[in-house]
A and B are shown apart, each in its own frame.
Chain A
Amino acid sequence: DAGVIQSPRHEVTEMGQEVTLRCKPISGHNSLFWYRQTMMRGLELLIYFNNNVPIDDSGMPEDRFSAKMPNASFSTLKIQPSEPRDSAVYFCASSLAGGPDEQFFGPGTRLTVL
């Protein structure tokens, strides 16, 4: 298996632009997590899906952030409009549902908002 796939790996954009991050979970996994990592706050959960349904989005910073999972093999995290404070590494992870499970992380997307 190719593991969790994220794209793009790096994104540089200007303040105010829309940014879309993409994630393909491991085939057969039915839980998907979006995390954000910054120097100040470390790793923190943004949102997670179970069977394509958002379960907990309490970590989404504000209305500028939205996430979708239209099917079991694809998820997007969108920021519109982007701001410099959104600069971070965004990780997607997936796992099998049914209790506490090992999570498999993608390589991350490093986002820089100028």
Chain B
Amino acid sequence: KNEVEQSPQNLTAQEGEFITINCSYSVGISALHWLQQHPGGGIVSLFMLSSGKKKHGRLIATINIQEKHSSLHITASHPRDSAVYICAVSGSARQLTFGSGTQLTVLP
């Protein structure tokens, strides 16, 4: 069993829809990271959180430490949100352990 599990693997939505991507982990962590990888391949850090909720524009990330679960929400989705979203965790060691990613496609 992978230490970090994401769902769904693939997600197609219509522009304007509310999107949720889920991440579950099985190890103790110091922080959970949400990353975005665009078709060009570059990886950008969206959020790093260890408790509660963070919001940046149309993106919201939440984490429940007791349930070892995090969600990434996108409100009013747009085709430019199309990308791979990757959940990763860091523990006492500082390197990241990654989920397999969620391929999001937002259709106009």
Contacts and interface: CB of A to CB of B under 8 A. Distances in A.
Residues of B in contact with A, size category: 20 to 34
Helix, strand, loop or mixed for chain A's interface?
A: strand
B104 to A, nearest CB: 16
B86 A56 contact: no
Given A105-B43, A107-B42, A108-B41, A100 B30 contact: yes
A101 B45 CA distance: 11
Contacts of B98: 42-44
Nearest to B44: A105
Contacts of B48: 100-102
Interface in B73-108: 86, 88, 90, 93-101
Given A100-B31, A100-B50, A45 B95 contact: yes
Interface in B30-76: 30-31, 33, 35, 41-45, 48, 50
Contacts of A101: 48, 94
A56 B95 contact: yes
Interface in A57-106: 89, 91, 93, 95, 97, 99-105
Contacts of A45: 95-97
B82 to A, nearest CB: 19
A103 B96 contact: yes
Contacts of A108: 41-43
Interface of A: 31, 33, 35, 42-45, 48, 50, 55-56, 89, 91, 93, 95, 97, 99-105, 107-108, 110
16 contacts: A33-B95, A35-B96, A43-B88, A48-B94, A55-B93, A99-B30, A99-B94, A100-B31, A100-B50, A100-B90, A100-B94, A101-B48, A104-B45, A105-B43, A107-B41, A108-B41
Given A56-B95, A95-B94, A100-B50, 12 more contacts: A31-B94, A33-B95, A42-B98, A43-B96, A44-B98, A55-B93, A97-B94, A99-B30, A102-B33, A108-B42, A108-B43, A110-B41
Interface of B: 30-31, 33, 35, 41-45, 48, 50, 86, 88, 90, 93-101
